[in-house]
Amino acid sequence: MKNNDTTPTPVPTGTFSGEFRVVHLNPLTQKLDTTKRSNLTLTISQSTGYKVTGDTVLYHAGSYGDFALNGTYIQFIDKTVPANATGTLPKIHLAGTYQYIYDGTNFQFQAASDTLAYQYILKKSN
């Protein structure tokens, strides 16, 4: 008899607070440089979607939208990005697909390219 029981991945729900940061690889020195930081609050619910608040003045936009996830990736669909937006927006929006880990308290996710990473390091606050 096979045991097909698996432990389900917890779904992040509730309010999370912590740091958003942009990490850049300097092409000349090959050293990592944290170029931008903001303290954010992310409220996330399976029934209502997500909302970003907190320090949204300089680098990160306040936003809201829908999300979908599996055991490895979470995708955010930001409803505040203008439909006709092209190129780089003035602020970073929580949009796109991110690799994540969530242990019931700590919720961390990031999207990275060769020289740039957007990192969210959050902790459940309720």
Whether pLDDT at 55 is above 90: yes
What's the pTM? 0.87
pLDDT band with cut points at 50, 70 and 90 for residue 3: low
Percent of the chain with pLDDT over 70: 94
pLDDT band with cut points at 50, 70 and 90 for residue 42: very high
Query: Which residue has tokens 């959050």?
Result: 122
pLDDT for the residue numbered 87? 74
| Dist CA 60 CA 124 (whole Å) | 20
48, 67 contact by CB (below 8 A):
no
| Dist CA 121 CA 119 (whole Å) | 6
pLDDT, one tens digit per residue, over 75-126 is 999 999 887 777 778 899 999 999 999 999 999 999 998 889 999 999 999 6
| Dist CA 7 CA 120 (whole Å) | 25
pLDDT band with cut points at 50, 70 and 90 for residue 70: very high
73, 97 contact by CB (below 8 A):
yes
